[in-house]
Amino acid sequence: MKHLKSTNKKKIHVCFDLDGVLIGKPAFLPKKVIELVVRGKNSNPTKLHFRYPTSKIEEYIRWLSQHPYLRRPLTENIKIVRELSANPSYKLSVVSGRYQFLEKRTYEWLQANNLDMCFSNIFLNTKNVQPHLFKERVLKQIKADIFFEDDEMIIRYLKKRVPLSIVHVTDSIKFPSTLSTNTIAPEISLLS
Residues that bind Mg ion in the complex, under the rule CB under 5 A: 17, 19-20, 150
CB of 186 to Mg ion, least distance (A): 26
Q: Report the residue number, 33 or 86, with the smaller CB distance to Mg ion.
A: 33
Using CB positions, name the residue nearest to Mg ion: 20
CB of 150 to Mg ion, least distance (A): 4
Q: Report the residue number, 16 or 90, with the smaller CB distance to Mg ion.
A: 16
Q: Report the residue number, 75 or 87, with the smaller CB distance to Mg ion.
A: 75
CB of 154 to Mg ion, least distance (A): 8
How many whole angstroms separate alpha carbon 74 and alpha carbon 171?
Answer: 10
How many whole angstroms separate alpha carbon 92 and alpha carbon 181?
Answer: 13
CB of 132 to Mg ion, least distance (A): 11
Q: Report the residue number, 94 or 184, with the smaller CB distance to Mg ion.
A: 94
Q: Which uninterrupted H or E stretch holds 37?
A: helix 31-39
CB of 23 to Mg ion, least distance (A): 8
128: left (phi over 0), alpha (psi -120 to 50) or beta: left
Closest CA to 110 of 175, 60, 52, 66: 66
Q: Report the residue number, 20 or 73, with the smaller CB distance to Mg ion.
A: 20
Other Cβ atoms less than 10 A from the Cβ of 7: the count is 7
In 3-state terms the chain splits into helix, strand, coil percentages (rounded to 5) of 40, 15, 45
